[in-house]
C-alpha cells in the first residue's frame, strides 16, 4: 500500500531515453570491461546482490498481480544482464580491492543521479515498484517484451 501511494504522487525518475540512470547497465558495462581485461576489478559480488534484488522485485510483481508476459520479460532480461555474466564470473576470485571498487562505483552512480537532479528515495521506490511504463524504460526488458508479442 505504501509503495502504491508513492506511484501516484511522484514525478517519474526513470526515463526511457536515459539508460545511464539504471545501475544494472553500469554493472553490465563493468563486466564487459572486466572480461576484456580493460579493468581488473571483479564485479562478481554485485551480480550476486543483483540476483537477490531481482528475486525481491519478482515477489513484488506477484504481489502487484502483474501479467505473465511482464514477469517473463523481466526474468529473461535478468538472465541476460545478471545470470549470464555471473555464470562467466562464477569461478573467479574476489579480492578486497574488488569490494573497494564496488563502493566507489556505487558512490559515483549515486553522485551521477544527484548531478542529474534525481531524488534518490523516489528513484528507488520507482525502481522497485512494477509499472508497465517503468519497465519499458529498461532497453533489454522492452526488447524482450516486444519479442514476446506485447505492444
Mean of per-residue pLDDT scores for the chain: 83
What's the pLDDT tens digit per position in 47-93? 999 999 999 989 988 888 888 888 888 898 899 999 999 999 999 99
Higher-pLDDT residue of 82 and 15 is 82
- Give residue 138's pLDDT band: very low, low, confident or very high (50, 70, 90): low
Q: Which long-range contacts (CB under 8 A, 24 or more apart) does 19-22 make?
A: 19/138, 19/139, 20/112, 21/113, 21/116, 21/118, 21/123, 22/137, 22/138
pLDDT-derived band at 8 (thresholds 50, 70, 90) equals very low
Which pLDDT band, with edges at 50, 70 and 90, does 101 fall under? Answer: very high
Instruction: For the chain, give every domain's residue range.
Output: 19-147
Q: State the pLDDT at residue 40.
A: 96
Query: Using CA atoms, how far apart are residues 150 and 13, in angstroms rounded to an integer?
Result: 24
Whole-prediction pTM: 0.77
Q: Evaluate if residue 134 carries a pLDDT over 60.
A: no
> Is the predicted pLDDT of residue 133 greater than 90, yes or no?
no
Amino acid at each position: 500500500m505504501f509503495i502504491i501511494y508513492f506511484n501516484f504522487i511522484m514525478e517519474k525518475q526513470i526515463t526511457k531515453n536515459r539508460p545511464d540512470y539504471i545501475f544494472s547497465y553500469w554493472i553490465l558495462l563493468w563486466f564487459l570491461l572486466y572480461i576484456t581485461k580493460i579493468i581488473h576489478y571483479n564485479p562478481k559480488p554485485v551480480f550476486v546482490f543483483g540476483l537477490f534484488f531481482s528475486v525481491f522485485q519478482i515477489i513484488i510483481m506477484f504481489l502487484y498481480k502483474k501479467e505473465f508476459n511482464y514477469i517473463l520479460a523481466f526474468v529473461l532480461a535478468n538472465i541476460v544482464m545478471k545470470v549470464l555474466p555471473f555464470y562467466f564470473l562464477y569461478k573467479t576470485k574476489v579480492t578486497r580491492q574488488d569490494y573497494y571498487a564496488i563502493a566507489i562505483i556505487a558512490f559515483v552512480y549515486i553522485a551521477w543521479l544527484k548531478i542529474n537532479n534525481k531524488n534518490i528515495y523516489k528513484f528507488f521506490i520507482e525502481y522497485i515498484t512494477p509499472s508497465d511504463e517503468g519497465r519499458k524504460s529498461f532497453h533489454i526488458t522492452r526488447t524482450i517484451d516486444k519479442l514476446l508479442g506485447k505492444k
